Structure 1
Amino acid sequence: MSMLISDTILQAAHITEAELRQEIAILLFQQERLTLGQASRFAEMSQLQFQRLLGSRHIALHYDLAELQEDVKSLQEHGWQ
């Protein structure tokens, strides 16, 4: 599914498309609807960048076994052993 946000809305909110993606990713991560990996991909950031963004806002990481397994799978898919 794709969603189109008009430039008018972005301008009215004084936010860029990238910032909006980050805000949505943070919100969904805080609500535990997205894992750290999913949220960082949605925000189009590396996990480290996304973690730094969360840290700058004093948002705690919730990282469980399922997320670890997802990260290991992702690393394996990208050729890391």
Structure 2
Amino acid sequence: MLLELNDNVIKSTGLSEQELRIDLAVRPYEDGKITVGQGGTMTGLGHVKFQHELGKRKIASHFDVEDLEADLETLEKLAIARGKQTNT
């Protein structure tokens, strides 16, 4: 789906197109309806820069037990992979 906004609507907000994209992504993120990755895609910033934008706006990251477990699993895989590289 493509969302189009009339140039006059964008201009009436007083925001640049990029600022409006960010504003349109922040609310659903705050409400837990989209992830940081989805917000990064919506804004065209990528997830890291979108996280920076959230930080500038003092919006806390959503990080739950599932996220922690996924991060721990990734770190474990990286440690195993690194160990294999070191042993060869």
TM-score when normalising by structure 1: 0.74
In 2, Cα distance between equivalents of 1:16 and 1:35: 23
Q: How many residues align?
A: 70
Unaligned 5+ segments in structure 2 are 75-88
Q: Which has the larger radius of gyration?
A: 2
Output the aligned Cα RMSD. 2.1
Q: Displacement of 1:19 after TM fit?
A: 1.3
Answer yes or no: is 1:28 the counterpart of 2:28. yes
List structure 1 runs of 4+ shifted beyond 4 angstroms. none
**1:45 is matched with which residue?**
45
Show CA shifts across 1:12-52 (max 9, x none).
Answer: 11112211111111111001110111111111112111111
Answer yes or no: is 1:4 the counterpart of 2:7. no
TM-score when normalising by structure 2: 0.68
Identical positions, percent:
28
> Contact 1:36–1:63 at 8 Å: present in 2 too?
no
Unaligned 5+ segments in structure 1 are 73-81
More helix by share: 2
The higher-RCO structure (CA 8 Å, 6+ apart) is 1
